[in-house]
Structure 1
Amino acid sequence: MTKWDIDPGGVASILSLVGLAADDMSKDVKGYGEAVTDAAAWAGTISGPYCGSAPAGPVGVAVATFASDTEAKIRFLAARTKKSLDGTVQATTAYVTGDLDMAADAQREAAKAPDPAELRAVAQKDDGQGGG
């Protein structure tokens, strides 16, 4: 069986760093969205003079299509990051709670008076010489 050895303080420290990186990533994704929108709008067209808003050119359409095609992947990345952070917090909390529960159970058991079977077992080990 694998032994778990989790340092909750270390986990909290790493989660803090990952949280900062996730915040940075969120800002980068927002900037990416704005940059793609600008790129699509300013890519130009191969048409002649026009009145009103510029028609979408082939490069602008390609940029917009690329952004649309990658949007789900970017959303997945953000959701996966959040789920991983939340899962790590839950697992570490369960680990700490489990340790505390096991320690409390051990203390409760140690504080109980010996039962008759435990008394017989001690008596047999002593070989009649008393003590423990």
Structure 2
Amino acid sequence: MTGWDIQPQGVQGQLKIVSGHAGDLQKALEGLVGTVTDAASAAGTAVPGSAAGPRLHGPVAPGRAPLRGGTTMGPVAAALGEYLSGRQKDFNAMAERIEACVLGAAKATNEYVEGDLEAAREAQEAARSLNLEALRRELPGGGGR
């Protein structure tokens, strides 16, 4: 650990770039959920005419009302809903990994600047193991999201 040679301004610049890309990813995922939701709504049903009842089915984007309508969602909507449900863990894992990397790099760099190499190493380990609680503690500005 004594061989560290960190340039805090360089780390700060890279963290700004990563944060920008993380925002782009968030927008892309929100767009994906919205588009899939719209596709599910437009997919129709395999149930003929009036046999379809107003039941809730299909994916629902965060912040949107549940899909409702005068017809039952069909197999395409159900498949799209299953797809999004199956990807939810992946989407959450991406967000947690990005947060851990950004917080870990920032905290390790701050500890390095303060001369506490042991705390810097602990911040690196917390980021590597996705220990977000440890990384959120003692953040400048009051911590946590």
Equivalent residue, structure 2, for 1:127: none
What is the aligned partner in structure 1 of residue 27 from structure 2? Answer: 27
Q: C-alpha deviations, 1:30-63, integer Å up to 9, x for none?
A: 1111112112221122221136522121111111
The amino acid across from 1:92 in the alignment is T
1:16 aligns with 2:16: yes
1:53-75 C-alpha deviation (Å, 9 max, x unpaired): 22121111111011011112101
Q: Secondary structure at the match of 1:4?
A: coil
Overall identity of the aligned pairs, in %: 36
Moved over 6 A (4+): none
Residue 49 in 1 paired to residue 66 in 2? no
Structure 1 or 2, whichever has the larger Rg, is 1
Q: Tell whether 2:81 aligns with 1:64.
A: yes
Q: Which runs of 5+ in 2 are unaligned?
A: 55-69, 117-145
How far, CA to CA, are the matches of 2:3 and 2:114 in structure 1? 16
Q: C-alpha deviations, 1:71-114, integer Å up to 9, x for none?
A: 12101211211111001000000111118xxxxxxxxxxxxxxx
What is the DSSP-based 3-state SS (H/G/I as helix, E as strand, rest coil) of the residue aligned with 1:76?
A: helix
CA distance in 2, matches of 1:49, 1:2: 74
Give the TM-score normalised by structure 2: 0.62
Q: Which shifted more, 86-95 or 51-60?
A: 51-60
Q: Distance in 2 between matches of 1:88 and 1:96?
A: 12
Distance 2:46 2:3 in 1: 66
SS in 1 for 2:46: coil
Aligned to 2:4: 4
Counterpart position of 1:84: 101
Coordinate RMSD, CA, aligned: 1.8
Gaps of 5+ in 1: 100-132
Within 2, Cα distance between the matches of 1:86 and 1:59? 40
Considering fraction of residues, name the structure with more helix: 1
